[in-house]
Copies of this chain bind each other. A is one copy, B any other.
Amino acid sequence: MLNFDFNLQIISHQKPLSLQSIMGINIGIPRGTRDFGPLESARRNFILKTIECQFHKYGFLPLQTPAMENLDTLIGKYGEEGDQLLFKILNSGLHEQKNKDVILEKFKLSLEKHLHASEITDKALRYDLTVPFARYVSMHRQELPMPFRRYQIQPVWRADRPQKGRYREFYQCDADIIGTPSLLSEWELIRLADDVFGALKIPAELRWNHRKLLQAIADFASCTDRFSEFTLCLDKWDKSGKEGVSEEMKKRNFQEKQIRDILSCIEQLNGFFASDFHNVPYFIPSSPSGDITKNEISFIYALYKNFPLKHIRLVPDFTLARGLNYYTGFIFEAKALQGDFQPSILGGGRYDDLTGIFGQPGLSGVGISFGLDRIYDVMENLQLFPEQLKTTRYAFCLGLNMGEQSIGYMFDFIHKLRESGVPAFQFPENKKISKQFEYADKCGIPYAAIAGEEEIRQQSIQLKNLNNKEQKNLPVDEALNILKHEYFQHGKN
């Protein structure tokens, strides 16, 4: 029954490391996914803890949702392209089903377009944290304090073409305030971004736009009814500039005049708005959407003037569109300002009715999402990780192994260190002492404790500082105290 083949070792004996197929078994990981070894994991944890600490300061509490959601929950929320990027999970027990013909037929049909047939797959991995959040709020509205503030730090999965900064598994760190239209929430999230990037020392700018301003522009250019198509075209600006947007609009049969009106409006706004907002409101087309926008921008900028951000810049960018259709007010995006790799490291915005589709209308909210993986890439690129995260350190003291007679004595010492909170362990085998020092070095361990027959008789420990090679024979308690002191004064990560 169990086909774990232990004999394989004989055949592939001492074969060098290879990602190639070994005896027909591929050793590797799925495309676009990554392993994180000790140093990378420690660095990722550092970023996560920094962000989490800021979330707590702002009164956000954690929420966790399952990795899998029902397809019904996800399909149709991210556009047609998004639907195709979902990782769908095969229903279990398919081979036990009796109606194989029906399943086969469904599969055939679904192959023609997408694989939505619930007989074959009815679950998928979550694509972001916003839709699961909306689903959660819809299910628990009665018991939640409204407005509800939650943060969520979990991986998401997208079957996108992998490239630098784009992974198939990546972590989002979301903070949302739902259940109030108040612009104080936008202001809170702007400050939160300032505090997070400040704590991580990332030089960044937070760009904003307003979907109702884009709506006003669409109205002005007489393409009100093609708003969502217009924002999709505008999304090209970042990569292919004004020409790219113009081309995309032509391709979609927008009229020449519409394209001209839209682009000139955006260019004028971009040119003047940043420098002196209060003198250029006439650039904003006068319309209901335009007027709302003016008031909302004034509110935020009044606070911004009185309480300047400490670390990041807040700048308008009227080419910012954000593909997701559920945004209805302010939208945000942040990028690092230095380095040769400047991907978007934060995104977000206001949504007026995200929970409506789940039967709970009337809950306006706003959220931002920090991208852990890109923040990591930026911090690596700009060498922003703190000193203690430049190397791996498994423990603060290695107890050397001098043979069976002294194992208990050394265990006792190591155990006392651990009880004081100092990470330590004993080398498991009685190998040559030089090998054990080599191991300590490879593990980044700064101290070694040594005890043979003589030390046991004296109730002492030879304590060696592996950096400066100093070694002292010390009473056990003194050795303990020195290590405790060094660890808590200088050595604690």
Contacts and interface: CB of A to CB of B under 8 A. Distances in A.
Contact of A15 (B111, B159, B182, B359): B359
Contacts of A471: none
A73 interface: yes
A408 B90 contact: no
A280 interface: no
A343 interface: no
Contacts of A23: 359
By secondary structure, the A interface counts as: mixed
Contacts of A434: none
A115 to B, nearest CB: 6
Counting chain B CB atoms within 10 Å of each CB, the highest count among A1, A25, A66, A120 belongs to: A66
A389 interface: no
Interface in A201-232: 228-229, 232
A386 interface: no
B41 A64 contact: yes
A65 B141 CA distance: 35
Given A28-B139, A67-B157, A61 B88 contact: no
Contacts of A149: 394, 425
A40 B64 CA distance: 9
A456 interface: no
A114 interface: yes
Interface stretch (A52-60, A235-243, A256-264): A52-60
Shortest beta-carbon contacts, A-B, top 9: A9-B361, A182-B428, A33-B66, A9-B356, A92-B159, A59-B395, A38-B61, A41-B62, A59-B425
21 contacts: A2-B79, A4-B76, A4-B325, A10-B361, A15-B359, A18-B359, A27-B73, A27-B358, A29-B135, A35-B140, A38-B62, A59-B395, A59-B443, A68-B157, A87-B90, A87-B92, A89-B90, A95-B113, A97-B111, A145-B442, A307-B408
Interface of A: 1-6, 8-10, 12-15, 17-19, 22-23, 25-30, 33-38, 40-42, 44-45, 56-70, 72-73, 76-77, 79-80, 84-85, 87-90, 92-95, 97, 100, 103-104, 107-108, 110-115, 120-123, 125, 135-136, 138-142, 145, 147, 149-150, 155, 157, 159, 169, 177, 180, 182, 184-185, 187-188, 191, 195, 228-229, 232, 302-303, 306-307, 325-326, 353, 356-362, 392, 394-395, 401, 407-408, 411-412, 415, 418, 421-426, 428-429, 439, 442-443
